[in-house]
Amino acid sequence: MAPPSIALFNTLTMQKEPLVTAEPGVVRLYVCGPTVYSYIHIGNARTFTSFDVVVRYLRYRGYQVHYVRNYTDVDDKIIKAANETGETPVELAGRFVKIFEEDSRALHLVAPDVSPKVSDHLPEIIRIVEALVAKGVAYESQGDVYFSVSSYPDYAKLSKRKLDDLCAGERVAPGEQKREPLDFALWKAAKPGEPAWDSPWGKGRPGWHIECSAMSAKYLGESFDIHGGALDLIFPHHENEIAQSEAASGKPFAKYWMHCGFLDIEGAKMSKSLGNVVRLRDALSRVDAEALRFFFLSTHYRHPLHFADKAIADSEYRLEYFYETLRKVDERVAGKDFGQGPLHGEPGRFLQQFEAAMDDDFNCPGALGVLSGLFGQMNELTDKPPVKDKALVGRTLQALRENVRKLSGALGLFEDEPAQWLLRRRDRAVQERGIDVAQVERLISERNEARKAKNFAEADRLRGELKGQGVEIMDTAAGTSWKVAAPVAETA
């Protein structure tokens, strides 16, 4: 069976192209992973979530995906952080690998097929450096080894920068022994107190860029289909990867390059220099992880994402609406047999619309718009069905619910049981708003007694009292449930 027609934007050619893989039906994908010296921030999380959806959707469409995402556990930042904490670099990196994996599970990120660490791939790294030196495109200088950028004519073909402009902005830093300002380190000579490995050039450790070339080649081959990462990795990291990999192998490196846009905080690009970096771990203490994932997917992966408290709150309330809809539908149709027969409104069209959106460069906002239509029809059929045939309505709701299950796997959404998610959401909102749960339950019990006694005036009064406390109640066939209502927007 021929693979589906999927188009993606290729940063290398700066245009949208059909996905044509080296091996039909198989996608080899490499994503630059975290440097494990601290907690990742929400910009990192957005990138990893975006590529998680890419992997999920390709598999949904029937592709066999070989997904590699690395850990950089040998790096200047790790050494510096370890010196500050008193740990060894290995201990610190290992600790933050575990923390990253915990955060990944919270965000519903699928585990890569391989998660290689730099420290486990020194032989592969050394072999590539040796090959570059042997070809005369790299040179040793007092224990360091540098790649000669002038030896690679296609340098900057990804970033589209002019070499003259790059050279004008570069200087040889004190302590560097490179010949030209743009040359970059493949191997760094050992310094006191730093981790080091034996090499033909003496003890040392790899440079940052060479690690990804070595690990991608080992697990995906010297040429593979897609390389991904954040927009700020285009230069110099990805540019240097291309140069050293193609110079070593003589083959094209990655065919397609995908990059996630920047994230800004209240209108300013998030950066450590501005002091406005939001750690993912801190964000997850304030907002549901799935709501944060929903927020990430609400903007196309290539576009800037504007992080603001209101936007996050809106995503959480939107996700609450989706889960409330699923709870209602499950109560209505779960485990019931409505027989065989026609369906109302062609529920299969939502799958077709979803796939059309996602086939177009993984357009998640468009896909979420399709989901809104699907959930809107489920709400209509449960609350105000346009047809009187209960079996027809039941069959249609079951078909729509099954569509949600299919799409949820492609997006990493709606994978929890609705009742459990809604309870977690309510518990967190209760704590944030300081609501007395015991009092709420007492007032609901009193209201139920008033309704049984047909004292509807008292029942309405109690509903109003609960509303004044920020509590919204819902009367269903399964009984009365409640939630914390959305705050009333202030008017100017």
pLDDT for residue 490: 46
Residue 2 lies in a domain: no
What is d(CA 461, CA 474) in angstroms, rounded to the nearest whole number?
Answer: 15
- State whether 254 and 320 are in the same domain: no
- Opening angle at CA 305, ends 303 and 309, nearest 5: 165
- Domain count for the chain, please give it: 3
Query: In this predicted model, what pLDDT tens digit does every residue of 251-285 receive, in sequence order?
Result: 999 999 999 999 988 666 666 655 678 899 999 99
pLDDT for residue 128: 98
Residue 72 lies in a domain: yes
Instruction: Look at residue 15 and tell me whether its pLDDT is greater than 70.
Output: yes
Number of Cβ within a 10 Å radius of residue 378: 24
- State whether 48 and 79 are in the same domain: yes
Compute the average pLDDT of residues 401-405.
Answer: 95
Query: Quick one: CA dihedral 461, 463, 469, 470, positive or negative?
Result: negative
Compute the average pLDDT of residues 361-385.
Answer: 96
End-to-end CA gap in the chain = 59
The parent domain of residue 115 ranges over 7-260
The rounded mean pLDDT for the chain is 92
Measure CA 26 to chain center.
Answer: 22
CATH of the domain at 29: 3.40.50.620
- State whether 196 and 317 are in the same domain: no
Residue 307 lies in a domain: yes
- State whether 131 and 43 are in the same domain: yes
- State whether 446 and 354 are in the same domain: no
Residue 467 lies in a domain: yes
- State whether 136 and 241 are in the same domain: yes
Q: Which of 181-185, 217-221, 353-357 shows the lowest per-residue confidence on average (mean pLDDT)?
A: 181-185
Residue type present at position 440:
V
Residue 267 lies in a domain: no
- State whether 243 and 293 are in the same domain: no
> Is residue 32 annotated as involved in ligand binding?
yes
What is d(CA 338, CA 394) in angstroms, rounded to the nearest whole number?
Answer: 6
Query: In this predicted model, what pLDDT tens digit does every residue of 327-350 receive, in sequence order?
Result: 999 999 988 899 899 999 899 999
- State whether 41 and 107 are in the same domain: yes
Q: What does the chain come to in residues?
A: 492
Mention every residue, 6+ apart, whose C-beta is less than 8 A from residue 434. none
> Is residue 212 annotated as involved in ligand binding?
yes
> Is residue 272 annotated as involved in ligand binding?
yes
Closest CA to 237 of 489, 31, 412: 31
- State whether 120 and 178 are in the same domain: yes
pLDDT for residue 335: 85
CATH of the domain at 340: 1.20.120.640
What is d(CA 256, CA 18) in angstroms, rounded to the nearest whole number?
Answer: 10
Query: In this predicted model, what pLDDT tens digit does every residue of 428-476 receive, in sequence order?
Result: 888 888 888 899 899 888 898 999 999 989 889 989 988 988 888 888 7
Tell me which of 418, 448, 465 is where a domain ends: 418
Contact 281, 289 (CB under 8 A): no
Distance (Å) of CA 473 to CA 322, 460, 487: 17, 11, 15
Give the residues across from 471 on adjacent strands.
484
Query: In this predicted model, what pLDDT tens digit does every residue of 190-232 receive, in sequence order?
Result: 999 899 999 999 999 999 999 999 999 999 999 999 999 999 9
Mention every residue, 6+ apart, whose C-beta is less than 8 A from residue 86. none
Contact 71, 428 (CB under 8 A): no
Query: In this predicted model, what pLDDT tens digit does every residue of 24-41 receive, in sequence order?
Result: 999 999 999 999 999 999
- State whether 150 and 228 are in the same domain: yes
pTM of the full structure: 0.92
Tell me which of 221, 244, 260 is where a domain ends: 260
Residue 490 lies in a domain: no
Residue 393 lies in a domain: yes
> Is residue 251 annotated as involved in ligand binding?
no
pLDDT for residue 271: 62
Angle between helices 348-359 and 364-383 (to 10 degrees): 170
Instruction: Look at residue 491 and tell me whether its pLDDT is greater than 50.
Output: no
Contact 87, 95 (CB under 8 A): yes
Residue 272 lies in a domain: no
- State whether 228 and 200 are in the same domain: yes
> Is residue 310 annotated as involved in ligand binding?
no
- State whether 19 and 103 are in the same domain: yes
Compute the average pLDDT of residues 374-385.
Answer: 94
